[in-house]
Structure 1
């Protein structure tokens, strides 16, 4: 196909009234017929419908076309459709070019049909020029390993593992701690009234009893290599049991898997602030929840309880932990239920009870819980007075004066931070972290469960602080994304990726430095220009096809397939643009 003389067919979609009401499609077809290499031109009412696709496929066979240009709408929405048509017609899908005459011509120039038609002619001319230079591209084929690795055994990790296992695929679940459950082990009730401990028992029993799930507790991932569909991870297990596993000298096993799901969760930060750790009357939200659940008699005798919201680690990046305010509402309401005469005061910067949880804030106010706002200039001060009482000094903005409180208990809403070892795991997996230290998704809107590295997904509080139901939903979403890979009979690699002509490579490391994904590397077993030892190598299975390395390479040793220099630079602009 590459040696054949290009025989280009151009198909202009009317898509009335979207295109044809603005662009003169007949004039566009006449213009395309006179372009070099074009042997056939047709207009079609709707190229994306069955009739339009059949018309194109029939013309390919009748006229011996080996290049196709479709002048219609965006390649982002319809290119895959026409590439399938190319395969059905026996042509390589990379011999297709699309000219977007809808978004780039008809829509922006709706009041200027002449200008829209002129712009459409230029787009078609450029597309024909690219098509004449196009070459077939062949992808590598791989059958994926039909196993998932889930890192983290909390509610998110267990949910993701169960969803994948229930779909018929094996799962290896890795958990650092001696038991499953993560933060759910320390949550005894939620604001909505559900029982999280029942959920924990149900998930744990289902995971431990599932024949397709292998659980490795007291274990951690120490190595991770390969690519989507063919990962290999090394997992080390602590040699001796204990609440804080010591992984030194532990047994290591290798696991092959097709996808990886990160569900490492987060934890409540415990720092030396407001006498925490130095006075037993100062607690975190989780500590208070445990007392309310297991020692409610301590609550009955209290006269005053103070909550301080938005406690920060000094000098750390500030972010909202999302669940703290709702947790304060549920604990404060529980205290009022157990001890209606207790005075409860909440010192806050801003109350954020997301969505329908606003009703818990309203309920708290109706029960007589007092809310006092503070700002950065008037942070609460906590000390022990001369009588041994806790003393909280806060600025009351309505009274414009300080108030002094003497609570029997002080509850601190501590920030949620990434789990220990998150940075190390990110380096092992070669994935990025956000400014807050959590794992960062590939795209917040388009790929919220995907990492930048193909085949790795994330869910739960490994991504950001979340409520239990949000963790479950994100785990189900991540499992669904993983199943789109595991269920494929085969995976295809390559296509529009960067390739290195090692005979031109000077080993300057430019590609290694500029690649945002860290894909290029110098392979010293290869030979570069002039016989030097070492030349750049780009694995097609990892390359995302962004083209940064090909644009930056000073030796022009790297080309982006289907976007080679001659395809991009060899097409001069029309005279109407250049003047």
Structure 2
């Protein structure tokens, strides 16, 4: 196996020598940090240098003893050449790559960096494996650099105005926080609930809070409230998103914040209430008029799906209210108490002291509506004995929380990922906080899932950070490897528009071909890979360079 691997390496080196002589590329110089700070960094760099020079791809090799410190004049001789720099993430974060690029007066297409620490030293064991893989990685990267075309760095400056979809607690919190940063905001007034399950109990603690937030939004100079029917159609553009209004005029926004409230599905048992219906009755004081809570009231948690801590908090706060304000007999049936939210353990203890009975049950419950009340039969987890609750005055079962039909329709118009009537995408390390799969569209608050009040407020803070990046006066830097469409080959089959995960491919109405939105494209290459007419190429990432790079890594 070892003999075969070494023979394969010699064959790859010979192949690159032939390709280098054949293509007559501009000379490439390579600077490598010797990774002394890494436990595996003591390599035979003299042998590596000789191999790189024999490849006919590199004309000069400079080995730096800890590149973050040892740079004094060693790179001055590389001016006017294409430079490949092999280093580590620290060189990127500390700005040393950028300083080297400026000091050598290089063009954008003449400078390429490789993270050899993360991609080689951290991955492989044994000096022989590291040296061989490092050589192949550098040669593969050198082939890409050799074929890079000169290009001007594009900067796109999006419109500074933001659109917030949602006039509930999540949307108003986000809009007011953005207005505090002097970002102009339009809020789409949505119908339906102003509070989502998870913080419905705010009705008890702060009954006039939503009215206060709406009043503050109306008074803010940088906030405008729009009726839901005002916006008819959305079209992505280079500077953001263009909405056609009901009157025909157009309005451009640099970013969209999707922040509707969640709604709750029915309880699942005829005659039972979900938490939203319960809090609506509490808020309207209907319970006081009808005396509905004079008998025994039962909350059933974890009925068909697991009840999260946010919903658990709403349930026991409602139970505590009924117990203390209406002297109701309250029982809470559950499988497990979830007290991961700060303060929830204390609330759980207070409910027990107030006389609320908690029963942990096994498996499923048998529920029967007798007309005059509910009969509930189950098995107690603590005693393993059967319990029966008869003729309850009220039965509350939290339902599954989802996005409303109007919110789902708006999300689909933006090509956001909706699955099982809910927003299905979690935050990613590769995107800004709150950013969706569509660059420039952010999801905030309860739209992401069940949250409590504190989580919504924290989410609004992270949203501000993301929008500062998106709406920065410096603009958005366009990716180098963006798709370029051959107008003669493109048949406008729309395959690229369907497969692009970022919604960056759109129709060019002038030429009737596909085109890429530079501010949206993330250079994943999906469009070029799927194009049936091979009409899309990726700038500075040609087929030949990919093939030669793969051969080097093979």
TM-score by length of 2: 0.83
Per mean C-alpha deviation after superposition, the further-off stretch among 181-190 and 139-148 is 181-190
> Cα distance 1:305–1:570, how it changes in 2: closer, same or farther (>3 A)?
same
Partners of 1:33 and 1:41 within 8 A in 2:
yes
The match for 1:352 is 338
Shift of 1:466: 1.1
Per mean C-alpha deviation after superposition, the further-off stretch among 165-174 and 302-311 is 302-311
Per mean C-alpha deviation after superposition, the further-off stretch among 439-448 and 318-327 is 439-448
> Cα distance 1:228–1:364, how it changes in 2: closer, same or farther (>3 A)?
farther
Structural mapping, 1:372-387, within 5 Å: 372-374=359-361, 377-384=364-371
The match for 2:320 is 333
The match for 1:539 is 517
Instruction: String of CA shifts for 1:87-146, please: whole Å, max 9, x gaps.
Output: 564323343333443233333444x22332222222222222222222223343333211
Structural mapping, 1:178-577, within 5 Å: 182-183=194-195, 189-190=201-202, 195-197=205-207, 199-217=209-227, 219=229, 221-227=231-237, 229-236=239-246, 254-270=250-266, 273-276=268-271, 282-292=272-282, 295=285, 297=288, 302-310=294-302, 320=307, 322-338=309-325, 342-356=328-342, 357-374=344-361, 377-384=364-371, 389-397=372-380, 398=383, 400-401=385-386, 403-438=388-423, 440-441=425-426, 443=428, 447-505=432-490, 510-520=495-505, 526=511, 535-571=513-549, 573=551
Report the Cα distance in structure 1 between the residues aligned to 2:95 and 2:405, rounded to whole angstroms. 42
Q: Indicate which of 129, 132, 155 corresponds to 1:115.
A: 129
Residue 154 (str. 1) matches residue 165 (str. 2): no
Report the Cα distance in structure 1 between the residues aligned to 2:534 and 2:94, rounded to whole angstroms. 29
Report the Cα distance in structure 1 between the residues aligned to 2:94 and 2:145, rounded to whole angstroms. 14
Aligned residues: 527
**What SS is found at the alignment partner of 1:136?**
coil
Report the Cα distance in structure 1 between the residues aligned to 2:228 and 2:123, rounded to whole angstroms. 60
Partners of 1:496 and 1:545 within 8 A in 2:
yes
Shift of 1:548: 1.8
Report the Cα distance in structure 1 between the residues aligned to 2:226 and 2:241, rounded to whole angstroms. 18
Shift of 1:512: 4.4
Shift of 1:320: 4.9
**What SS is found at the alignment partner of 2:370?**
strand
> Cα distance 1:290–1:154, how it changes in 2: closer, same or farther (>3 A)?
closer
Per mean C-alpha deviation after superposition, the further-off stretch among 503-512 and 33-42 is 503-512
**What SS is found at the alignment partner of 1:222?**
strand
Shift of 1:10: 0.8
> Cα distance 1:185–1:104, how it changes in 2: closer, same or farther (>3 A)?
closer
Report the Cα distance in structure 2 between the residues aligned to 1:129 and 1:557, rounded to whole angstroms. 23
Report the Cα distance in structure 2 between the residues aligned to 1:333 and 1:202, rounded to whole angstroms. 26
Partners of 1:164 and 1:483 within 8 A in 2:
no
**What SS is found at the alignment partner of 2:422?**
coil
Report the Cα distance in structure 2 between the residues aligned to 1:303 and 1:345, rounded to whole angstroms. 11
Give structure 2 stretches of 5+ with no counterpart. 1-22
Residue 7 (str. 1) matches residue 27 (str. 2): yes
Partners of 1:439 and 1:462 within 8 A in 2:
no
**What SS is found at the alignment partner of 1:169?**
coil
Residue 39 (str. 1) matches residue 62 (str. 2): no
Partners of 2:303 and 2:364 within 8 A in 1:
no
Partners of 2:504 and 2:518 within 8 A in 1:
no
Partners of 1:222 and 1:428 within 8 A in 2:
no
> Cα distance 1:146–1:84, how it changes in 2: closer, same or farther (>3 A)?
farther
Partners of 2:506 and 2:517 within 8 A in 1:
no
> Cα distance 1:451–1:16, how it changes in 2: closer, same or farther (>3 A)?
same
Partners of 2:260 and 2:446 within 8 A in 1:
yes
TM-score by length of 1: 0.80
The match for 1:91 is 106
Instruction: String of CA shifts for 1:223-253, please: whole Å, max 9, x gaps.
Output: 11124633212345xxxxxxxxxxxxxx565
Residue 58 (str. 1) matches residue 70 (str. 2): no
